[in-house]
Amino acid sequence: MEINAQTQFCGVIGNPVEHSLSPAIHNAAFQKLGLNFVYLAFRVEAIGDAIKGLRALGNFRGASVTIPHKVAAVPLLDSIEPTARHIGAINTIVAAGGTLTGYNTDAIGALRALREGAVALKGRQVAIIGSGGAARAIAFALGTEAGIDRLTILGIDDRERSALAQDLQSKTGVTVQELPLDKDTLQKVLPDTHVLIHCTPMGMSPNVHGTPAPATLLHAGLTVMDIVYNPRDTQLLKDAKAAGCRVIPGLEMFLHQAVAQFELWTNQAAPVDVMRAVLESRFS
């Protein structure tokens, strides 16, 4: 596609952004559909100045927002989609008619990954490891969109974990049990758990041998989703496969959050196969 005065642009705003896979994924998708769009990477320290600048540019269509700006960007936008408001963080901006709206497609991406994996959630015992931004996004998606009625949160930060549990209970009505993440707690919780979602960086490259749950506690009745996507097969997922669990790799959530972004910006169905192929080629 030739870049010209009509080219719409999107980009990733964060610091650092040098290793982002988003430009490769989105540009391949734009090209596949013959859309006059381009996706760039913007290393940004001053988020307020960056958003002011983007408002002034007529061809700006949207952005991915990544670390460290997911929370700081919220008050700078004109409106925030309800699930993203509950979460208190966004990862996507959509520009339309001079209005900037914030979304959280981490939440959408996690649910799509679970649905694609045919994972039953209603009436199931679901446990989340972690209480940071990703855990918040997934917990609220489960509470507002997936209709679960109870959730266990396991985390090492007492204050953060309690705040998330209280937020969830008051805003979604889900019954939340929050417990410290240690071997004793895992021994009590995991035998009755149907779906385990890991939302911390543990096991991420280069620390590939880290895992949040001992292999001996994983059982065949469990579905394990890890949001870490590099390496593709984390230690947790290797152990889960060996125990006979159904597994959902982090690549699936990453893919589906990007698919949701693409569809918000273009109002077209994303070429998921093309986006998946680009992503997989980076980890083959």
How far apart, in whole angstroms, are the C-alpha atoms of residue 237 and residue 85?
31
Q: How many CA atoms lie within 13 A of 57 on its CB side?
A: 19
How far apart, in whole angstroms, are the C-alpha atoms of residue 12 and residue 263?
16
Give the torsion sign (CA, 185, 163, 110, 27): negative
Residues 185 and 82 in one domain: no
Phi/psi for 195 (5° steps) reads -130, 125
3 lies in a domain? no
Residues 125 and 227 in one domain: yes
CA distances from 174 to 76, 146, 200 (A): 30, 11, 22
258 lies in a domain? yes
Among candidates 231, 186, 230, 193, which has minimal Cα distance to 212? 186
Q: Provide the residue range defining the domain that includes 268.
A: 8-103+253-281
The total domain count for the chain is: 2
Residues 220 and 175 in one domain: yes
Q: What are 24-59's pLDDT values in tens digits?
A: 999 999 999 999 999 999 999 999 999 999 999 999
113 lies in a domain? yes
Output the pTM of the full model.
Answer: 0.91
Burial class (CB in 10 A: 0-12, 13-18, 19+), 5: exposed
How far apart, in whole angstroms, are the C-alpha atoms of residue 26 and residue 270?
9
Residues 58 and 152 in one domain: no
Find the Cα–Cα–Cα–Cα dihedral 62, 110, 205, 279, rounded to 10°. Answer: -60
How far apart, in whole angstroms, are the C-alpha atoms of residue 67 and residue 77?
17
Among candidates 39, 21, 84, 29, which has minimal Cα distance to 229? 21
- Maximum C-alpha span of the chain: 61
Find the Cα–Cα–Cα–Cα dihedral 58, 62, 64, 66, rounded to 10°. Answer: 50
Q: What are 229-268's pLDDT values in tens digits?
A: 989 999 999 999 999 999 999 999 999 999 999 999 999 9
CA distances from 109 to 13, 35, 138 (A): 19, 23, 9
Residues 229 and 121 in one domain: yes
Residues 222 and 268 in one domain: no
30 lies in a domain? yes
pLDDT for the residue numbered 49:
97
- Annotated catalytic residues are 70
Residues 241 and 277 in one domain: no
Residues 231 and 170 in one domain: yes
Residues 16 and 122 in one domain: no
Residues 79 and 67 in one domain: yes
Instruction: Pick out the chain residues at pLDDT < 50.
Output: none
pLDDT for the residue numbered 130:
96
CATH number at residue 261: 3.40.50.10860
CATH number at residue 195: 3.40.50.720
How far apart, in whole angstroms, are the C-alpha atoms of residue 105 and residue 113?
12
How far apart, in whole angstroms, are the C-alpha atoms of residue 3 and residue 9?
10
